[in-house]
Structure 1
Amino acid sequence: MKDEKLNTKGVCFGEVLWDNLPTGRKLGGAPLNVAYHLNKLGIRTDMLTRVGNDADGKDIKTLCAELMIPLTLFQKDESYPTSTVEVHIDDNKDVHYEIVFPVAWDYISVGQKEIDAASQADFFVFGSLSTRNNISYQALQTLVKVANYRVFDINLRTPHYTQERIFELLSYADLVKMNEEELGFVAKWLGLSIDETDGQKVEAIMTVFDVDELIVTYGAKGANYHSKAGNFCYHLSALKVEVKDTIGSGDSFLAAFLSQRCRQDKQVSIEEMLEFAAALSGFVTQSSGACPSYDLRTINRFQWLNPLYPE
């Protein structure tokens, strides 16, 4: 299949940064990773963020331009630096982060240009980390009111979140993505018993916060998609690949899912959406960093060579 350019368009809101890995620095930030993959998959996705007036910020803008990530909604801050994060990968290949505060993306502002972009987009993606400071949170509150399809990617990074803030963000969302650990946190905050099944926890979250769709990712154990409208849950296994690192695998899963979920040119089944998401996530997991180079044909071939259900 050739690369596609689709009429669908989106906006991702939040952090962009340099991940300082043991092997060198890599472009990062969960919403930036989502925007990268959506643009690679043919969906014009603007990144609404803020960088400092410094060398790190200039380097990020230069690299994003090379990666074909639109710079239209990038903002420049004269007071705060571009974000950097120290990344540590343990013996189990789990990732741990040291995130500096405050940085430029803690001060994202909103004007008519940003409001127009959010209101004209088919989907609007946001996470919890970028709302740790009230300036960016107030900007987000303005934008979610005009967004058409609001996608909340929970991204719990200690100590940069509170129960109250997560609950507020959940109340804005049409689609929520979280991992198994984050599901446990939210369920505990709701007062649910640890004996409740994950399905019961998800049902409670969707009911309390009026969420239409919810995805729980389980790493090597796959993912579950829950739909209020269809009142069903679909489980998808993960591809069996050699893990290079898990940085950005969840972000790529969400981007691939949205690239199919929000298509306007054809109907795509939930199974096809999730299988494509698993393929891209598997490809990223066996690659280094969150934004490896590829094109759509690469992912199609990878999916063909790594079937979810081998004969």
Structure 2
Amino acid sequence: MMNKKNEVVCFGEILWDVLPGQELPGGAPMNVTYHLSKLGRKATLISRLGNDERGIALRKIFEDKGIDTSFVQVDALHKTSIVLATPNEAGDMKYDIVEDVAWDYIEKQPDHETLISQSRYFVFGSLAMRNKGSRDTLLALMELPCTKVLDINLRAPFINKEHITYLLRKADIVKMNEEELGLVTGWYGDYIGIEEKMQLLQHRFNIETLIVTRGAKGAAIKHQDHSYLHDGFKVQVADTIGSGDSFLAAFLSKFMENKNVDAALTFACKVGAFVATKKGGCPDYDVSEIDRTNIICSIPD
């Protein structure tokens, strides 16, 4: 294998999660980049910030956390993105994603080709397809030689069957939650049970590794012709922002070592549960805290 200078490149939204009483940094690609870095992996983010106070503050926060911001562009015309996040009684979040913001206009740069071609994984989300500016850039970068990781985030009204179908056909690894799995498979017929739905998507789109997160119920994976299941971990939830993103980061951080799916799945569930005990998508923590936290393996009913 060629020597990879950078292990993972993430592409897409960077923003402020505006919660009741506070604003926290986030955006799925940013969260994945952050947690990969916390787990000792070299990760880089391609995104775009407004030339405003929120943008300046975000860049400083990420630089202070040791995140490479050299591929985060500055937009003189569009504002830094915000998402209005409202928790329900269970701690799950409802999102109102403001449109026409800086990350909708990520421009392709000449050094992107070298960056991605010399990396092992290229991670991108479906939200980056909502605007032609970033969409055209993403479609061009997806043609570069690299393992492609699709993180599906179906947030109304940004759900486009044609776009999702195209991304599924291009991706080597796909992560979605159980609700999103039901929505996507519902486009093709009436399927019952998570195993049947996952098998449909894997075969229809020739996906090597399909990951479905199930909240407190853990996660399921179909890798090649094998199925894997973890029942999850019980924790005291602070909020679920970034939990799925930290899951993906943790899975990739272990999977790239030796492609042991069981070990990667267990570690991902553990990290995702741990992050759910914290506030926001990019909480401060030491990796040693993960093993010290009161995380109890769930027992199926």
Letter in 1 for 2:67: I
State the partner residue of 2:103.
Answer: 105
State the partner residue of 2:66.
Answer: 68
Letter in 2 for 1:261: F
Letter in 2 for 1:222: G
**Counterpart-to-counterpart distance in 1, 2:245 and 2:145:** 20
**Counterpart-to-counterpart distance in 1, 2:5 and 2:231:** 30
Secondary structure of the 2:196 match is helix
**Counterpart-to-counterpart distance in 1, 2:165 and 2:102:** 25
The answer as to whether partners of 1:154 and 1:177 remain within 8 angstroms in 2 is yes
The answer as to whether partners of 1:253 and 1:280 remain within 8 angstroms in 2 is yes
Letter in 2 for 1:242: Q
**Counterpart-to-counterpart distance in 2, 1:10 and 1:172:** 17
State the partner residue of 1:293.
Answer: 284
State the partner residue of 2:223.
Answer: 227
State the partner residue of 1:216.
Answer: 212
Specify every segment of 5 or more residues in structure 2 that has no aligned partner in the other structure, as ranges.
none
Trace 1:172-251 onto structure 2 (pairs within 5 A). 172-190=170-188, 192-194=189-191, 196-228=192-224, 231-251=225-245
Trace 1:75-224 onto structure 2 (pairs within 5 A). 75-190=73-188, 192-194=189-191, 196-224=192-220
The answer as to whether partners of 1:123 and 1:147 remain within 8 angstroms in 2 is no
State the partner residue of 1:3.
Answer: none
Identity of aligned residues (%): 41
State the partner residue of 1:255.
Answer: 249
The change in CA–CA distance for 1:214 and 1:275 in structure 2 (over 3 A counts) is same
Could you state the TM-score of these two structures normalised by the residue count of structure 1? 0.91
The answer as to whether partners of 1:177 and 1:216 remain within 8 angstroms in 2 is yes
What does the per-residue CA deviation read over 1:278-299, in whole Å, with 9 as the maximum and x for residues that have no partner? Answer: 1111111111111111222222
Specify every segment of 5 or more residues in structure 1 that has no aligned partner in the other structure, as ranges.
1-5
The answer as to whether partners of 1:105 and 1:136 remain within 8 angstroms in 2 is yes
The change in CA–CA distance for 1:288 and 1:17 in structure 2 (over 3 A counts) is same
Letter in 1 for 2:283: P
Alignment RMSD:
1.6
**Counterpart-to-counterpart distance in 2, 1:136 and 1:61:** 20
The answer as to whether partners of 2:235 and 2:296 remain within 8 angstroms in 1 is no
The correspondence for 2:262, drawn from 261, 266, 271, is 271
Instruction: Give the total of aligned pairs.
Output: 296
The answer as to whether partners of 2:250 and 2:268 remain within 8 angstroms in 1 is yes
- Aligned-pair CA distance for 1:309: 7.3
